[in-house]
């Protein structure tokens, strides 16, 4: 019981830290919209799904991977299980499932809102500005056009975003290895292994912004491998009992999985054809 209590306290601290970082990220990325007018008519027109060239397919996959990280699906399941523990009371279980549903929906709304805010900020404040296709260039352009305060907020948000992403990735890796693969690797060795890709990128002199985009595209490719088993398992009464997903929800989930898979396959086809 003592070990379980310590684990839950550690998870609570982790969640509080991530929530704090999310607040910083949201404020930092949305702050620019306060001082920059937005063309809401253009925003409404932009809600219509469409692509303008092969590069936009790459960016769409990148944004999808950054918003719906496949490893976060496993991590959230683990946190929900360990936070609440097993429950034999049907009423309490229904309450926990409802709370978890709201938790997931709100998290995706915030993540999607932050991504949309960054796009709106760029569209409203930086049209035609050169050298905004890199992190350094975007930060410099925001500082020049919106002021040093907004630039500092944007930079802090970028730092918090990196720390939050690293924390989620490290925690998810630990949960997946311990819970699914049942492989135990010493903590220091795990951290050294995860540093290798970043060090290789730096050593080869690869553009960090381009490497970031590609890493998010890889995450997009991983989403079907997380959500398809999830759709299958949550639709089985032998697994979920009375809480199994009903047919309309299963159909909607299958459509979403098919669209994501189609986007990834389209990007692969464009890549092999040399269009990207």
Considering only CA atoms, give the Rg of the chain.
Answer: 21
Instruction: Specify the pTM.
Output: 0.75
User: In the structure, what pLDDT confidence band is assigned to residue 1 with cuts at 50, 70 and 90?
Assistant: very low
Percent of the chain with pLDDT over 70: 88
Alpha carbon distance, N-terminus to C-terminus of the chain: 54
* pLDDT class of 82 with cuts at 50, 70, 90: low
Which pLDDT belongs to residue 78?
A: 74
Confidence of residue 232 (pLDDT cuts 50, 70, 90): very high
What is the structure's pLDDT at 7? 55
Residue 6 has pLDDT above 60, yes or no: no
Q: How far apart are CA 223 and CA 108, in angstroms?
A: 14
pLDDT value at 131 more than 60: yes
What CA–CA distance (Å, rounded) separates 65 from 45? 23
**Phi, psi dihedrals of residue 45, rounded to the nearest 5°:** -65, -30
pLDDT higher for 171 or 4? 171
- 150, 30 in Cβ contact below 8 A? no
Locate the domains of the chain by residue range.
2-43+54-272
Torsion of CA 270, 43, 124, 264, to 10 degrees: -20
């Amino acid at each position: 019981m003592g070990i379980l209590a310590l684990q839950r306290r550690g998870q609570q601290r982790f969640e509080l830290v991530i929530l704090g970082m999310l607040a910083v990220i949201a404020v930092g990325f949305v702050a620019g919209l306060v001082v920059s007018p937005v063309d809401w008519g253009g925003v409404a027109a932009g809600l219509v799904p469409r692509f303008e060239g092969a590069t936009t397919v790459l960016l769409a996959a990148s944004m999808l991977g950054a918003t719906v990280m496949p490893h976060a699906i496993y991590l959230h399941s683990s946190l929900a299980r360990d936070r609440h523990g097993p429950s034999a009371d049907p009423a309490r279980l229904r309450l926990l499932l409802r709370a978890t549903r709201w938790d997931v929906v709100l998290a995706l709304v915030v993540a999607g809102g932050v991504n949309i805010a960054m796009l709106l900020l760029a569209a409203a404040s930086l049209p035609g500005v050169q050298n905004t296709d890199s992190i350094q260039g975007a930060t410099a352009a925001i500082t020049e056009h919106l002021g040093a305060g907004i630039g500092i907020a944007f930079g802090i948000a970028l730092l918090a975003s990196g720390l939050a992403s690293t924390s989620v990735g490290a925690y998810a890796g630990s949960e997946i290895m311990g819970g699914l693969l049942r492989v135990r690797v010493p903590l220091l060795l795990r951290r050294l292994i995860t540093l290798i890709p970043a060090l290789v990128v730096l050593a080869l002199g690869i553009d960090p912004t381009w490497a970031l985009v590609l890493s998010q595209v890889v995450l997009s490719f991983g989403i079907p491998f997380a959500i398809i088993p999830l759709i299958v398992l949550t639709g089985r009464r032998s697994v979920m009992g009375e809480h199994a997903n009903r047919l309309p929800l299963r159909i909607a989930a299958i459509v979403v999985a098919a669209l994501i898979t189609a986007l990834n396959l389209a990007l692969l086809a464009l890549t092999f054809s040399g269009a990207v």
